[in-house]
Structure 1
Amino acid sequence: MLWEVDIYPAPGQPDVVAEQVRHDGLDLGIHGAWQVAAGRGYLVEGDFTHAQVQRLAEELFADPVVERFVIGQAGDSVLLEPPGPDMHPVYVLPKPGVMDPVAMSAAAAIEDFGWHARAVRTFRKYWFSGLSHNDLRRICQKILANDAIEQVIFGPLPFRTLEQGRPYEFRLITVPLREMDDQALLRLSREGQLFLSLVEMRTIRDFYRSLGRDPTDVELETLAQTWSEHCSHKTLTGQISYRDEQRQIQFQNMLKETIFAATHEIRRRLGDRDWCVSVFEDNAGVVKFDDDYHVVFKVETHNHPSALEPYGGANTGIGGVIRDPMGTGLGAKPICNTDVFCFAPPDISHDELPPGVLHPRRVMKGVVAGVRDYGNRMGIPTVNGAVYFDRRYLGNPLVYCGNVGLLPRDKAHKAAQPGDLIVLVGGRTGRDGIHGATFSSAELTTESETLSGGAVQIGNAITEKMLLDVLLVARDRGLYHAVTDCGAGGLSSAVGEMGRAIGAEVDLERVPLKYEGLSYAEIWISEAQERMVLAVPEEKWPELQELFASEGVEATAIGRFVPTGRLVLRYQGHQVADLSMEFLHKGRPAVVREAVYAPASTVPMVLPPECEINWTADLIAILGSLNVCSKEWIIRQYDHEVQGGSAIKPLVGRWNDGPSDAAVLRPVLSSYRGLVIACGMNPKYGDYDTYWMAAAAIDEAVRNCVAVGADPSRIAILDNFCWGNTDRPEVLGSLVRAALACHDVAVALGTPFISGKDSLNNEFRLSETETITIPPSLLISALGQVDDVRRCVTMDLKQPGNAIYIVGTTADELGGSHWAEIHGLSGGTVPRWDGERARGVFEAMHRAIMTGCVRACHDLSEGGLAVAIAEMAFAGEFGAEIDLDAVPCASSDLGPVVRLFSESNSRFLCEVPVERASAFEGLFAGLPIARLGTVQEKPHLVVKWRGQTLIDTAVENLKRAWKQPLAW
């Protein structure tokens, strides 16, 4: 029997969901007197009486204070009684096989009642009137449902049982690869979603010719997952012949010779003082923290899935990166998240959307909600992030998710041993995530939403929280030798990587499934979430199994690591794969690519006459631009206080709504030693020169850390390259040039790279001749340290009468600036970078903060000096008066536009008590520094130049402009 429980707002309660649907409908251009009501509900299949379902509705499903419910068997007329005249129902349900976390939790809770449900599924239910058939269809397609994971049903439900899958009948599938010509190989790669190159397909074909047999389907899938761009980073680690206007370089392994080489050089220079523990070899980078703990940090991308299903893509993006620290060493405790998003502007018209592209407003809301729900439900604070907008992210939004973990010093290393059991723990395996790794390596097209819906996973944070808690107990009991997460490629990647130096045998029928019907190949490559793989000594297995069972977490031995050097897969006694680990991990042919780079020609920016500039209006316009304005709507949705360690929050100031430069937290609550989390990114600069874009990103990330008090000699950084199609030499050239800058800047600052990730092919193909390509997007994440969080500072002005200082040199660098953007100006020069000066400024600033000379500090970045002083003022609700004549400039003839709006690197604004001014200046001897003005009691910002007042406006006006654009 299939019971339906409909849940609606109680009488007198607002129908918030319906109001949002109506608002979104107006955005679609659907006007008129149409009506909508909304509810949610559960389908429960089982031998239940009406009274039992009534009790479930009262005690489990609905909140009796604010909700009412209706019960009936699916299709009953009582369930179809409209809440208003002429209203008709629309159901939105997950498609069969799609993860339904709420339904899973409900099924478990029903068991606690002593009852059993054969199946549970959630749904959303809407009632409409006054809409044409076409308008209703548009609302369903554009607002209510995502065809990648959801189905829409008009009218009563047409089924009386929930689909749970049909039993799988074993049939060994072999792929006739040996006889395929080039055309057939490419067709197989594309249609089978392997996304391997012709050279790679030929290599596999020739390998099997040498064996005298064809591959099984699961062998071919395993090779595709392992050789995918997502898993092997074959472009960046490949051979690249690079040339630009000054040099020509032949890389054997570009990543190793740039990013890795910088870290190696820094560590060699440090010698015995080296504070790196594990870099580029585990799931996350590891650095020393104190006498008892190391810290780990990883940032991943989840772009393609988030383009198809924003909530699920982002949800599993943050869930996956949380498992990276959990799978680093013997398992770190996640202590905070950081998230950076890149979207197209949310005000783009629906008429401008290409087929297959979700509206950026919908993408933005879904991504934010996905990250919010997962992090909050796991009890991990989200403490730092950023959001960037550019029309070129329309087809490919970027979703960067990061996690920091705390790892006992004696748990930093791991190694599976021959004879260890392969134990799968956590969630069950389903079809969600099939081909996720290979899909992430391909470009998106107008058909991706239909063809690659299976690559989208839906996460269950509660399952992962349970897994985390019991895993740390097992770690401390010493119950396993190694652990890794089941991420891209699923078991194929996790087991294949963990056993690459040994060998592994797996019995796939032992893998716990969410539902029947999965083939052996689907079981092996599924990327279903919340799963991890352990290498467990056989004598420890009974204790580990009992421990996991006691906490309600599944643990299943599915195989064993055996010293054969081979990967052997079986299903119900049938051998379905036998692969050489050597060929699997080292057989991929080297990628050889050409890369060229020619920086855009430098054209002077033609400035309007100063007399025609409305300085206040320009400042307000920049503060109200999407890339500068407040992101409070997003930040407030995240819990940044859970675990009790946050010392400097994402929002600071008198009313806790000013933009913090970085987050500071105490990971060990018995100590005041702290971690600092920050980031840097400016894709706009890449339009001019990706070398200086990368340099600026690193400088900004480090600068943000230093601004709150981090020690510049103990800052580690991570790189995340998101680029277009690097098969094109000019696109790859722009990436190589950015990597060269990463090397140069990291070495100059002494900031080692400890981890990273790339995401290529971020393009959306509209047709054979038209493509939307993202701008070169390099995110630099920084992990700093501070001896005592009580000495850290925030950016808000603190006390009238204090002096305001600027530190650093301002140059004529308006290219790619926000001031140029609001005026539609091109040309000019993007910020360059001076390594020696930057390091000196950072070290002096750290000394000044630690010696108590600084009450407030803010870095100068987007919008330059004008935005920085405005933000400091309205965050503290004090005024400021400054004189641009005093700004230290690279050239004395620079006018007020450059002094006020240039975005030159390595600069800070500081509030200094007058009695500490002399000491402050002494710390910056030989460095560019100047006193600009004072903090004022009256909350007005006054900016002067050569005796004239350019800006005199209430701080309240500036704050209003800054907060308004995304005040959703």
Structure 2
Amino acid sequence: IVNDPAAPLSREQVDTLARDLLCNTLIQRYRIKSRDQWQASPGFEAQAAQVTGESNDTVETIGLSGMDDEALMQASRSNTWALNLKEMHCIRDQFSAPDEARRREALNLPANPTDVEMEVLAQTWSEHCKHKIFASRIDYTDEDTGRHEVVDNLYKTCIRDATAILRERMGENDYCKSVFKDNAGVIAFINGYDACIKVETHNSPSALDPYGGALTGIVGVNRDPMGTGMGAELVCNTDVFCFASPFHDKPLPPRLLHPRRVLEGVREGVEHGGNKSGVPTVNGSLVFDERFLGKPLVYCGTVGIIPAELHGRPGWYKKAETGDVIVMTGGRIGKDGIHGATFSSEELHEGSPATAVQIGDPITQRKMYDFIIRARDLGLYNAITDNGAGGLSSSVGEMAEDTGGCVLDIAKAPLKYDGLRPWEILLSEAQERMTLAVPPAKLDEFMALAARMDVEATALGTFTESGYFEVRYNDRIVASMPMSFMHEGVPQLELEAVWKAPEVKEIKVDVADADQGAFLKRMLSRLNICSKEYIIRQYDHEVRGGSVIKPLVGVKRDGPADAGVLRPLLESDAGLVISHGICPKFSEYDTYWMMANAMDEAIRNAVAVGADPDALAGVDNFCWCDPVVSPTNPDGRYKLAQLVRACRALRQFSLAFGVPCISGKDSMKNDYTGGGERISIPPTVLFSILGVIRNVTATQTSDFKKEGDHIYMLGGTWREMAGSEAADELGLKGGQVPHV
């Protein structure tokens, strides 16, 4: 750093520059050199200490039985368990039950849980994995109508049940194959293939490390179709990003990165993850709002195709069998990705752990993917899933539900380096790892194929009928929990929601004397309207040669397409349509119409390019600010009421349009607290559509084709300016949100 000697930078300033602007402390180190001495900065030493040391088989006992309520909550906060007091009591009661205590004594386990068991339960019961807010019992009051009711489980009543009703209506024409129970939703496609789609978010990791968080977001969601059914072939990606303005010019609260740095890091991370994996990016959007300063939203989606039949059974079907060997393939385990599930289940704050972000490796994942498809076609395994948030704890724990138990030896797991404790080995997530259930008779052939294709594969245990999730470190049992408690023991949340529509005034625009030409130019330069070609061009939408409608259309390929169209089987004219809708600006007025408009936009975009309206499937991705009332979140009841209204709109318009949801995800707690400030995102839903078009030569694009053609507008226009870009440009707040 060169500076004026008369006004030298202090060591603190230099440290801030290195740590906050230059260095990604998760994967990089920095030192500060001065005239007087050469010494490591505190940041370097602290990070270096995390990744060195000898092998560590230490297992601690968590003394829950001796903790009062305050100590229980302190333990939850300090260990990033993200468990509430009722959940901590439930865990303590389970381990203190006399029968359980005797069973554990026979296994030479302590009466209190080990740190391995506590970490597994925290991951399994996290908001990220269990969707506890969507599954909660909600005491709902509408102050506008005076109506009071109990809403028991928004997911079941508004999403799952709507799809079930639609599937019953369709009867023999039901094109849904697998919904809400696998890593991705599956629908019928054509020519002996089904299609699947999954969209995920990586908001919290991308806030701390935009490049790493976004890279693992895209390669992570690639693993969802890869682990759906017996394994899908990846055909395309779709990405939607929500940021604060890259021209933000106000001081930043502690720990937050400048939105420009977040934008560039996310863009590059998704580019590297997608392009290096050889998967085309055919659809996407950018949304800008200053409330995304606290947490950006990074949606990444992947579409795949699966043979309709494999080895005599449906390609979407999988099931681990008793006696199958637990095999982990792909990348090794490190300290990155620890607490990914629980970290994403709480708000971002100054103490959020950097190690929750994984270090992705798309090349290793691509090699593993090629191997898995080959092993699938040879029939070498019975089931497969990804090592998502929670690592082996999550993947093995979920697959063990097929048989009712497992025995897992984590001492056999391949590590990136020494020094990981047993619970860290079990919990660490990596985007390039998968877990498979391999029949013992096929294990040698499976391992030989992995070695031949240069993919690391390790047998770690077996699936059993014991009823227990058992983890060993060599000969020592370090965790043993009933499967029923692990997966069904989490108590249902009981929450309160109160809706009162915000007061909205009428707005009026006087255009008589306005310079509309100048206004048009200002509108075209707004962040949510201006060209995104700079970003779009850096993603590969041509790889594999199947993209029919590309992200940019028109004579000069410089205007945005309504949707992407892909021909995944080059010998066929059948295509898949990928579109989406997102409009968080309407949430300020009413989340019911925000949800309705997002769905309507996605469906119109798909139909506009030629998708069959009778073969559309939806994917709902909710990103919400904290909807649980607390002293630091006093308006939680209103935010929860907003969630109830959005879910009810999803149900109503799914049934009205005849579009079933086949997959989805929610991301709660999208808030930041620090420096005396709280920043919450606007309630946001990305609604994606996967559709089918029988003949891709009949697709349409939105650019005008021939001079002299007539231009028509279908539908009516009303006074619905609320939430519009025009109203925002004019500094107007109010009016009515567009109704569907």
Shorter-chain TM-score above 0.5? yes
Distance in 2 between the 1:364 and 1:673 partners? 35
- Could you tell me which amino acid in structure 2 is paired with residue 151 of structure 1? R
Correspondence for 1:428 among 332, 342, 367? 332
Deviation at 1:171, TM superposition (A): 2.9
Task: Name the structure 2 match of 1:744.
Answer: 652
CA separation of 1:172 and 1:132: change in aligned 2, threshold 3 A: closer
Letter of the 2:22 partner, please give it: L
Could you say which residue in structure 1 is the equivalent of 2:302? Answer: 403
Q: Is the 8 A contact 2:584 2:684 kept in 1?
A: yes
Check conservation: 2:59, 2:116, Cα contact below 8 A.
no
CA distance in 1, matches of 2:148, 2:300: 35
Aligned counterpart, 1:288: 188
> For residues 766-785 of structure 1, what are the alpha-carbon distances to aligned partners after superposition, in whole Å with 9 as ceiling and x for unaligned?
256x3111000111011111
* Structure 1 residue 135, shift from structure 2 partner: 6.0
**Aligned to 1:823, which of 712, 726, 730?**
730
Contact 2:408 2:461 in 1 (8 A): yes
Alpha-carbon distance in 2 for matches of 1:726, 1:183 = 23
* 408, 417, 420: which one aligns with 2:321: 417
Tell whether the 8 Å contact from 2:15 to 2:32 is kept in structure 1 after alignment.
Answer: no
Secondary structure at the counterpart of residue 602 of structure 1? coil
| CA offset digits 1:638-695 (Å, max 9, x no partner) | 0000011000000011111111111101011101111111110111100000000000
Unmatched segments (≥5 aa) in structure 1:
1-29, 36-85, 87-128, 834-968
Q: Which runs of 5+ in 2 are unaligned?
A: 102-110, 310-314, 629-635
Report the residue type matching 1:190 in the other structure: R
Aligned to 1:591: 493
Check 1:157–1:333 CA distance in 2 against 1; reply closer, same or farther (3 A cut). Answer: farther
Matched with 1:772 is 679
Contact 1:315–1:459 (CA<8 Å) still a contact in 2? yes
Q: Secondary structure at the match of 1:237?
A: coil
**RMSD in angstroms over aligned alpha carbons?**
1.9
Superposed counterparts of 1:85-96, under 5 Å: none
Corresponding residue for residue 254 of structure 2: 355
| Pairwise CA distance, 1:138 | 4.6
Aligned to 2:82: 195
Match of 2:369 in 1: 468
Decide whether aligned partners of structure 1 residues 523 and 406 sit closer, same or farther in structure 2, where only a CA change above 3 A counts: same
The answer as to 2:478 corresponding to 1:576 is: yes
Equivalent residues of 2:59, 2:421 under 8 A apart: no
**C-alpha separation between the residues in 2 aligned to 1:736 and 1:812?**
26
Residue identity opposite 2:119 in structure 1: E
1:16: which partner in 2?
none
Shift of 1:469: 0.3
The share of aligned pairs that are identical, in percent, is: 50
Measure how far apart 1:352 and its partner are: 1.9
Residue 115 of structure 2 corresponds to residue 217 of structure 1: yes
**Which residue of the partner structure matches residue 848 of structure 1?**
none
| Structure 1 SS opposite 2:472 | strand
The answer on 1:794 being equivalent to 2:689 is no
Amino acid in the other structure paired with 1:516: D
Superposed displacement of residue 134, structure 1: 6.5
- Paired AA for residue 723 in structure 2: G
The equivalences for 1:906-925 within 5 A come to none
Q: Which amino acid aligns with 2:139?
A: S
The 5-angstrom pairing of residues 245-256 of structure 1 reads 245-246=144-145, 247-256=147-156
Indicate the residue corresponding to 2:289 in structure 1. Answer: 390
- The aligned runs of 1:60-79 (5 Å cut-off) are none
Please tell me whether residue 173 in structure 1 is matched to residue 74 in structure 2.
Answer: no
Contact 1:647 1:663 survives alignment (8 Å): yes
Separation in structure 2 between the aligned mates of residue 324 and residue 171 of structure 1, nearest angstrom = 33
Aligned-residue offset at 1:242: 2.0
Q: Which whole-Å CA distance do the structure 2 matches of 1:346 and 1:679 have between them?
A: 24
**C-alpha contact 1:618 1:819 (8 A) present in aligned 2:** no
Q: What is the identity, as a one-letter code, of the residue corresponding to 1:147?
A: T
Counterpart in the other structure of 2:587:
686
Amino acid at match of 1:422: I
Task: Kindly provide the CA deviation profile for residues 166-211 of structure 1, in whole angstroms up to 9, marking residues without a partner as x.
Answer: 3224333111111211111100100011010000000001111103
SS at match of 1:277: strand
The question of 1:509 aligning with 2:411 is answered: yes
CA-to-aligned-CA distance 1:348-401 (integer Å, 9 cap, x gap): 12x421111100000000000000001000000011111111111111111011
- Letter paired with 1:800: E
Q: Contact 2:253 / 2:675 at 8 angstroms: preserved in 1? A: no
CA contact (8 A) 2:615 2:692 kept: yes
3-state DSSP class of the match of 1:331? coil
Q: 2:432 aligns with which of 518, 524, 530?
A: 530
State the AA in 2 paired with 1:216. Answer: T
Task: Give the distance between the partners of 1:170 and 1:284, measured in 2 at CA.
Answer: 36
The amino acid across from 2:63 in the alignment is P
Aligned to 1:909: none
Instruction: Work out whether residues 148 and 308 of structure 1, in 8 Å CA contact, stay in contact via their aligned partners in 2.
Output: no
Q: Cα distance 1:416–1:265, how it changes in 2: closer, same or farther (>3 A)? A: same
* Secondary structure of the corresponding residue to residue 313 of structure 1: helix
**Superposition deviation, residue 429 in structure 1:** 0.5
Alignment match, 1:92: none
SS state of the match for residue 316, structure 1?
Answer: helix
Alpha-carbon distance in 2 for matches of 1:137, 1:187 = 31
Distance in 1, Cα, partners of 2:658 & 2:119: 42
Aligned mates of 1:715, 1:386 — CA distance in 2: 20
Give 1:241 deviation, angstroms: 2.1
Listed one character per residue, the Cα deviations across residues 284-336 of structure 1 (whole Å, up to 9, x for unaligned) are 00000013100000000000000000000000011110000000000001110
Greater displacement, 198-207 / 790-799:
790-799
What residue is the counterpart of 1:520 in the other structure?
A: 422
**Residue 34 of structure 1, CA deviation:** 6.4
1:291-310 matches, cutoff 5 A:
291-310=191-210
Structure 2 CA distance for aligned equivalents of residues 472 and 242 of structure 1: 48
Opposite residue 112 of structure 2, the aligned amino acid is D
User: Could you say what secondary structure the match of 1:258 adopts?
Assistant: helix
Aligned-partner Cα distance in 1 for 2:9–2:64: 53
2:668 to 754, 760, 785: 760
* Partner Cα distance (2:567, 2:8) in 1: 56
Are residues 1:715 and 2:616 paired? yes
* Mapping 1:321-332, distance limit 5 Å: 321-332=221-232
Letter in 2 for 1:557: A
8 Å CA contact 1:354–1:446 kept in 2: the answer is no
Secondary structure of 2:329 counterpart: strand
Give distance in 2, aligned partners of 1:132 and 1:668.
61
Q: Give the residue type in structure 1 aligned to 2:200.
A: E
Q: Which residue is equivalent to 2:95?
A: 208
Distance 1:537 1:157 in 2: 55
Q: How far apart are the structure 1 equivalents of 2:436 and 2:70?
A: 41
Q: Is the 8 A contact 1:567 1:581 kept in 2?
A: yes
Q: 1:605 is paired with a residue of what secondary structure?
A: coil
Q: SS at the partner of 1:577? A: strand
Aligned partner of 2:312 in structure 1 is none
Cα distance in 2 for partners of 1:353, 1:202 equals: 39
TM-score (normalizing by structure 2) = 0.92
Which one of 580, 587, 605 corresponds to residue 507 of structure 2? Answer: 605
AA matched with 1:400: Y
Task: Work out the CA distance in 1 between the residues paired with 2:476 and 2:317.
Answer: 36
Matches of 2:563 and 2:31, distance apart in 1 = 47
1:343 pairs with 237, 243, 253, which one?
Answer: 243
| Structure 1 contact 431–528 (Cα < 8 Å) conserved | no
Give the distance between the partners of 1:453 and 1:139, measured in 2 at CA: 18
- Does residue 479 in structure 1 map to residue 380 in structure 2? yes
TM-score, scaled to structure 1: 0.71
Segment drifting more, 587-596 vs 428-437: 587-596
1: distance between equivalents of 2:80 and 2:577? 41
For 2:191 and 2:552, locate their aligned partners in 1 and report how far apart those are by CA, in whole Å. Answer: 31
1:447 aligns with 2:351: yes
- Once the two structures are TM-superposed, the CA of residue 528 in structure 1 deviates from its matched residue by 2.4
- Find 1:785's aligned residue among 674, 683, 692: 692
- 2-side partners of 1:171 and 1:428: how far apart? 20
Distance in 1 (alpha carbons) for counterparts of 2:285 and 2:202:
16
CA distance in 1, matches of 2:245, 2:265: 15
Q: Distance in 1 between matches of 2:434 and 2:141?
A: 43
Please say if 1:154 is aligned against 2:32: yes
